[in-house]
Structure 1
Amino acid sequence: MSDLENPLVYWDGVGATKTFTHPVNFTWLAEVGPNARILDYGCGYGRVMAELHEQGFRDLLGVDLSPALIARGRQLRPDLRLEVLDSPPTVAHAPASFDVVVLFAVLTCIPDDDAQRALIAEVVRVLAPGGLLYLSDVLLQDDERNQARYTAYAEQFGTPYGVFATGDGAVCRHHHINELRTRLKDLDILEQRRIDVITMNRNRAKAVQVLARKP
C-alpha cells in the first residue's frame, strides 16, 4: 500500500520511463486561439504539450508531481515550460489563470475519491469562466483479468472498485463513465467520445475523452 499513499515512489522510478499514448483530438480545440493559456496538469514528460506546440499553441505550461518525469521532459524539449508541483494538487497560479486545462490519464493515477475531487476543484479554480477542460482517462475494463484484480484489491484494501496494482508497482484506477461525469459536476459537458488506447504497460484498453466548459 505504500505506493497508494505515496505515488511518487513509482513515478520517480520505473514510471518515469513509460511512454504515454492517449491521442489528442484537435478538432475539440478548434475554437481556441494560438495565444490561449493552456495548462497540462500531470504532463509527464510533455508529450501532449509538444503536440500542442506543433499545432501552433504557444502559451503552454506543464506541471507534474514527478521531478524525474519533468527532468526527462526538459531534456527532450528544453523549449517547453515544465514545472514540478510543490504541493499537489495545488497549482501556484491565481484563479482563472488558464483558458484550457488538459488532464490526460491523470485520474487513473489517483485511486482515492477525495484526492480526485480535490484535483478537479483545483482545475475548476484555475480555469477562466468559459474555459475548457479536456479530460482523457481509462474506463473499467470488462475482461476477466481486470475484473479479478479490481475485486481482489477492493476486498484486500477497501478501495473503490476499479483500483488495482500493476505488475511493476503502480496503483491505478479505472472508472465507470458516470464516475468521471460526476467528478465534472461543476462543469458543462460539451463532448464525449470513447476510444481505444495502449496503456503505459502496452496493453489495449477502453478509454473515454470528455470536453467540458466552466460556466
Structure 2
Amino acid sequence: MNDLGSQIAYWDSVGATKTFTHPVNLRWLAGVSPDARVLDYGCGYGRVMAELSEHGFSDVSGVDLSPALIERGRQLHADLHFSVLPSPPDLPCAAASLDVVLLFAVLTCVPDDDAQRALVAELSRVLAPGGLLYVSDMVQQHDERNRSRYAAYAQQFGTPYGVFATDDGAVCRHHDIAELHDLLSDFDLVEEQRIEVTTMNGHRSQAVQLLARKR
C-alpha cells in the first residue's frame, strides 16, 4: 500500500480522461464571503473551481498531483489558478492561510489509512480557525459486485475493507461512514448528507458529503 497515496501513473494516463460528477451544495457555502481564500485539493480539471468562480468566489485555486489533469484544467479554464502538487499531501501554503478547502472524491483515491490521516492533518494546518473543510466521497456499497471485490482485496492485500481495484487499474476505497467521522474527529461536523453520484467509470453509487469546521 505504500505507493497508493498518489497513483500518479494512473492519473497521468487513463485517469486524466475521466469525468468527475460530485455536486457542489452551494447552500452550504452561502455564509462564506465571496473573497474567501478557497482551495480545491485534488482539483482534477477544475470542474468544481469553475462552478465556484461562476457563483462569485473570487479567490479560488486548485492543486492536483497529476500534471496531465492540471494541463487539461488549464486548457478548459485559462482564467483559473492551477498548480501541480509535487509532494502530496504537502501544500505550499502558510499555516491558517485558507478559509475553505474542498476535498471532492479524493479520499477514495487515497486508500491507505496513514496517507488519509496525513492529508487531513495537512488540510487542518492550512485552514484558519473556523475555516471549512467540505468533503464529498464514496461510502461502502451493499451490492454483491462491490462486496465481493472488497472482500477479495482485503483478503489478498490485508487492506481496510472497502478497498478494491477498478478494471482500468486504479485502487480505490469506499468508506464506512464511521471511518470518515473518525478521520474528521478534530473538526466540528456542521452538515452531512447522503447523495447518489455517477462514478468516473459510469456506475451509480452512494456517496456522502460532510461539511466540517476547524476548531
Q: TM-score range by the shorter chain?
A: over 0.9
Distance 1:194 1:88 in 2: 28
Cα deviations by residue, 1:130-185 (Å, 9 ceiling, x for unpaired): 10010000000000000000000001111110000000001000001110010001
Structure 2 residue aligned with 1:133: 133
Does the CA-based 8 Å contact 1:3-1:170 persist in structure 2? no
**Which residue is equivalent to 2:148?**
148
The one-letter amino acid of 2:105's match is A
Structure 1 residues 10-62: Cα deviation after superposition (integer angstroms, max 9, x where no partner): 00000000000000000000110110000000000000000000100010110
What TM-score does the superposition give when structure 2 sets the normalisation length?
Answer: 0.98
Preserved CA contact (<8 Å) 1:3 1:10: no
Report if aligned partners of 1:44, 1:69 keep a CA contact under 8 Å in 2: yes
Cα distance in structure 1, aligned partners of 2:6 and 2:79: 30
Aligned residues: 215
Q: What is the alpha-carbon distance in structure 2 between the residues aligned to residue 140 and residue 58 of structure 1?
A: 35
- Return the alpha-carbon distance in structure 2 between the equivalents of residues 106 and 135 of structure 1: 9
Q: CA deviation at 1:2?
A: 9.1
Alpha-carbon distance in structure 1 between the residues aligned to 2:66 and 2:181:
27
Contact 1:37 1:60 survives alignment (8 Å): yes
CA change 1:183–1:6 in 2 (3 A) is closer
Partner of 2:186: 186
- Could you tell me which residue of structure 1 aligns to residue 202 of structure 2? 202
The answer for the alignment partner of 1:7 in structure 2 is 7
Secondary structure of the corresponding residue to residue 93 of structure 1: coil
Matched AA of 1:150: Y
Compared CA separation, residues 93 and 6, structure 1 to 2 (3 A)? closer
State the Cα distance separating 1:86 from its structure 2 match: 1.2
Pairwise mapping of residues 1-215 of structure 1 onto structure 2 (< 5 A)? Answer: 4=4, 7-215=7-215
3-state secondary structure, aligned to 1:4: coil
Checking the alignment, whether the CA contact within 8 Å between 2:5 and 2:110 is kept in structure 1 is: no
Q: 1:147 to 1:2 in 2, by over 3 A?
A: same
Distance 1:132 1:40 in 2: 12
After TM superposition, the runs of 4+ consecutive aligned structure 1 residues lying more than 2 A away are: 1-6
CA-based RMSD of the aligned residues comes to 1.2
Equivalent position amino acid for 1:186 in 2: D
Aligned partner of residue 134 in structure 2, secondary structure? strand
- Report the Cα offset of residue 6 of structure 1: 5.4
> Which secondary structure does the structure 1 equivalent of 2:189 belong to?
strand
Instruction: Supply the distance in 1 between the matched residues of 2:4 and 2:25 (Cα, whole angstroms).
Output: 31
Tell me how far apart the structure 2 counterparts of residues 191 and 77 of structure 1 sit (CA, whole Å).
30
The answer as to whether partners of 2:85 and 2:91 remain within 8 angstroms in 1 is: yes
Q: How many angstroms does 1:122 deviate by?
A: 0.3
TM-score (norm: length of structure 1): 0.98
Task: State the Cα distance separating 1:4 from its structure 2 match.
Answer: 3.4
Q: 1:35–1:59: 8 Å Cα contact kept in structure 2? A: yes
